[in-house]
Structure formats: structure tokens, C-alpha cells
Structure 1
Amino acid sequence: MFTSDRRTRGELWFDRLNVVGMLIICFVTMYPIWYVLVNSFNDGTDAMTGGLIYWIPRQFSLENYEIVFSNAGIMTAMGITVSKTLIGTVIHVFFTAMVAYALSRKELMFRKLYMVMGTVTLFFSAPLIPNYLWMRDLGLLDTFGMYIYPAMFSFFDLIIFLTFFREIPDGLEEAAKIDGANDFSIFVRIVLPVSLPVVATIALFHGVWQWNDYFVGVLYTNSEYLQPIQTFLYRVIAQSSSNQIVGATGGAINRTVTSQSIKLATMVITTVPIIVAYPFLQRYFVKGLMIGSLKG
């Protein structure tokens, strides 16, 4: 009895320590996000005074967001980001799934060779200069296609699709072929509809990447009308480092905002949409990762 009591008491303290530890981890993880949000709604000059850590804006102000939205470029950049995220994700998912379905067929010639070639790309990728020359020769510089065509295919995503497709019963395809369906019809009408969990998983993977990517806009275009919101944020940060915040009229802003407050407001604007969308896809994300890992 004495041993049982001590064990129970030890387990109780272990649970308490776990709770305390998780609360500390949650605080360390969430506080920087909350700090950015609070400061973006705070008066810029007041935020510069520093002081004690605070949980709500000391001097609430929407001027930071007014300045950001007064820049006509942010709405154009937001439109580019939304467009490339939606279009790029749909094309990427469809094309990668189509290639994965072909490689899942055992009757495909040179299937093992294709798998070896794809596996090599997981460990070695083209350097920056050859990649830039390749984009130039394809005529993708300063075009919307630079966001779409190079990202149409990912061998890593193909492996996830391939694992799922191998679990689909062969009887479904055989029945469709008896009814006269060809391979493309089977893929579109049967394979994709039963693969929604893994499709949602890959869509989330690639959609988040498309939304967060800024490097393509920095490297492959000089046009302000083709830069996505993340590239816009990058340039805002670069300008704010020299305290050169420019409004829609092109004149310097002489109000109660600072380069730091403008930077934080822009970060919130670019981050909120993907944070809002993630919870709706999370259950598909988890299910899609687990499917194919177990048989039976």
C-alpha cells in the first residue's frame, strides 16, 4: 500500500510538471505572435518608448494599417499572392498526382528508372545561377508563369501520393476499364475523388509554400505589379531599416508611426489569411499523412 501511494503521488507530480512545462512552451511560442499583433495596433512612437511587457495596446491606433493600405502596391501584391496560391496549388496538385498515378502502375515502362531519377532530385538541386539562366531561356522572367511552371511538380509530394495510390483496390480500376473508361478518365473520376485526404494534405503543403514564398519575386522580377505580398513585405522591411516609409502619394509620412510599426502591421496582414485557413484543413492534413502508413 505504501509503495502504491508513493507511485500515485509521483505520477501526480509528474502530471503537474508536464502541465507547467507545456504552459511554459505555449507561452514562449505564442507570446512573440501576440507581441507583434499588439504592437501593430499600438501608437508607433509610444511603442518605441519600450517599458514593461504589456498585453494590450497602451495607445490604440489604426494608423499603422491605414498607412500600409494607403500604399496602392499592397493590394496589387495581395492579388498576385492570392492568384498564384490558388492557381499554383491546383496545377501542382493535379500534375503531381497525375505523374504519381502513372508511376503507381506496375506496367509502366522504365518505372524504376524514373523513380531513381526523381530520388536524386531530393538530394541535389540546381544552383542559383543555372536556375536563373533556365528561367531566362524559358522566357519566364517578369511573367506570372514564374510562380506556376517551375513549381508544378515535386517529387517529395509525389512520394506521398504514390503511397496512397498503392492502397487503392485494383478492382475499382478494373471495373471502370470494363465499362470503357481510359486511364485519364479513371484518374479524374475515380482516383482523385477517393484521394481527397491526401489531396488536401498536398494542397496545404504547397499552398502554404506559395503564400510564404518571397524569393521568387525578389530574384526573377523587377516589376512592382508582379511582386507577391511576401516580397512586398521584404521590401517594406528593407525600406524601414533606413526609415524610408513612403505613402501612396510618394511623400514621406510624418505621423505617429515608425518603420517598426509599419513592419509589424504588414507582417500581421500577410500572416492572418493562412492562419485562418489552416484550422479548416488540419483534419485532412493529419489524416492524409497517416493514410498509407498502415495496411489492413
Structure 2
Amino acid sequence: MFGLKRKTSGEQIFDTLNTAAMLLICFVTLYPIWYVLVNSLNEGTDAMRGGIYWWPRMFSLGNYQAVFDNSGIMTAMFVTVSKTLVGTVTHVLFTAMVAYALSRKDLIGGRVYLLLGTFTLFFSGGLIPSFLLIRQLGLLDSFWVYIIPALFSFFNLIIFMAFFREIPEGLEEAAKIDGANDLRIFVKIILPLSMPVLATIALFQGVLQWNDYFTGMIYINNPDLQPIQTYLYKIIAQSSSNQIAADAGVVNKTVTSQSIKLATMVITTLPIVLVYPFLQKYFVKGMLIGSIKG
């Protein structure tokens, strides 16, 4: 066809090797997930024999029944969903407000705030001072220990600022002429124009909140306030998943501790996997913020 350039043999070899390498990377990345899913859908006692690689040999939903029948796991799941939703929304709004203020050129002391924030990217107080601070604030064994310390991230603030500085100043000036104050401008103009970066930061923080097990392990002693990731960590670390089946009242001997671990892993991973495709287009736009000027 007119205008098409035929590839040389070297280019064809390169394309073939590149495609093979990408397929290999995809397989190495996705197969462990598939392996866990397949074994979680197989009877536990049968799975202990091994040899299950591609499809369940004896399909069963007993592992998931044991998980959902256990009140401890369901409570932990509720805590995880709650802290992810509340923590993500509050983090995005609070960080966006601070970033909008620091992106204004007329902010007094703005450069000092940025220098102090940059310092925190490289240095931190450490675990012991953080624990003492959380204790002094009265956040130990409190749901708010998941929310308040995670309200702000200077790294995410930098991403917000890069986006806000690309918004034409004429929009704000026109709004001020019409009598709008800074808060109204932020809510009515800035936020609606910032959907790509809002979705990007929401994805960052949502995944961080969902996967966080460390906060529940260090600051929470009340089992009713521990998230599912901390619960799963204790199952794996303490090999206590045999007790899960007993707590759930499962008398089916086809359920094992290992099969319950795998089913719990699938349940904790599935929500993020399902949400990501809907945010992907915003995620790509958000990651390109500041990289292309035009």
C-alpha cells in the first residue's frame, strides 16, 4: 500500500524478540495470581496433593464459605472498606486544598513551606517517635489512627501543584470579578477541572489504604478495629488459620488452613483489581502531568 514502509529483517527480529519478552513478563506477573485463584477454588484436601497449575481439579466454594462465615474476617473487611473510603476521600480533599494554597504565587511564606515539606521527603522521625506521637494524640486503638495521620502527603502535594499551576489564572480572576471567594473558586472551578489528578491521587491513596497492614499491627490492639490485611498477616505469620475454620463452624474436612489463606488473599486483592480499569484513563493522564507542555 502507498505510504507503508516495509520493515527490514533486523526490525522484524527486534519486534519478534520484543513481543516475546513482553509476553514472558506478562506471564511471570499474572501466573502467580492465577495460581492462587485456581487453588482457592479447589478443595483444600485435594489441593494438598499438588499438581494444580491451570484449572481446579475438584472445584469447590467451601474455602470462600469458610471465610465469609467467619465473623472476624468480615469485621476486618468492613474496617478495611471503611478506612479506605474515608481515608481516600479525606486525603484527596485535604492534600488538594493545601496544594492549591501553595500553588498561589501570592501566598506569604510559600517558599518556606515548600522547603520544610521537601525536607520531610528525605528525613523522618522514625517509628518510636511516631508511636509516641500517636499515643499522645490519643489515637491508639482508634479508627481515626487510619485517617488523621494519612490526611496529607507531600509527594502527592507536588503532583497536585504541578497540575494546578497549569490552570489559566484568567479563570480565577474572572471568578473573583464575579464575587467568588477562594473557597468557591476551589470547589466550583479547580476541582471540576482536576479530575485526572484527583483520580490518580485517589488510586494511589486507595491502594495504600487497602494494602496497609502495618498501622493495624503497631497501633491497634482491639481485634474489632484491625483491617483485613493485618488479619491476613497474622494468619500467615502465626499459622492460625486452622482456628478460622473452627470459628466459622466449618465441619467440612475438605477445607484446610492453606486453602483458607488463598481464599482470603483473593478476597483482599479482588476489589482493587476491579476498580483499577475504571480509573486507568485518569491514571495515565495524571502521571503525565507536568511532563508535556503545549
Query: Structure 1 length normalisation: TM-score?
Result: 0.93
Cα pair 1:44 1:261 within 8 Å, conserved: yes
Cα pair 2:159 2:289 within 8 Å, conserved: no
Check if 1:256 corresponds to 2:254: yes
Cα pair 1:41 1:57 within 8 Å, conserved: yes
TM-fit CA distance, 1:292: 2.5
In the superposition, relative to structure 1, how do residues 252 and 58 fare at CA in structure 2: closer, same or farther (>3 Å)? closer
Check if 1:124 corresponds to 2:123: yes
TM-fit CA distance, 1:271: 0.3
Deviations, residues 189-245 of structure 1 (Å, cap 9, x unaligned): 111111111011101100110111111111111111111111121122234x26633
What CA distance in whole angstroms lies between the structure 1 residues aligned with 2:173 and 2:29? Answer: 51
Cα pair 1:70 1:248 within 8 Å, conserved: no
Letter in 1 for 2:253: R
In the superposition, relative to structure 1, how do residues 252 and 197 fare at CA in structure 2: closer, same or farther (>3 Å)? closer
What CA distance in whole angstroms lies between the structure 2 residues aligned with 1:127 and 1:47? Answer: 43
Letter in 1 for 2:71: A
User: Residue 37 of structure 2 aligns with which residue?
Assistant: 37
User: Residue 293 of structure 1 aligns with which residue?
Assistant: 291
User: Which runs of structure 2 are paired with 1:74-93 in the superposition (5 Å)?
Assistant: 74-93=73-92
TM-fit CA distance, 1:253: 5.8
User: Residue 10 of structure 1 aligns with which residue?
Assistant: 10
User: Which runs of structure 2 are paired with 1:52-201 in the superposition (5 Å)?
Assistant: 54-201=53-200
Cα pair 2:241 2:261 within 8 Å, conserved: no
In the superposition, relative to structure 1, how do residues 32 and 226 fare at CA in structure 2: closer, same or farther (>3 Å)? same
Deviations, residues 237-283 of structure 1 (Å, cap 9, x unaligned): 234x2663334647786612222111100000000011000000000
Letter in 2 for 1:131: S
TM-fit CA distance, 1:59: 1.1
User: Residue 263 of structure 2 aligns with which residue?
Assistant: 265
Cα pair 1:246 1:253 within 8 Å, conserved: no
Structure 2 residue matching 1:60: 3-state secondary structure = coil
Cα pair 1:212 1:230 within 8 Å, conserved: yes
Identity of aligned residues (%): 70
User: Residue 3 of structure 1 aligns with which residue?
Assistant: none
Q: Which runs of 5+ in 1 are unaligned?
A: 1-5
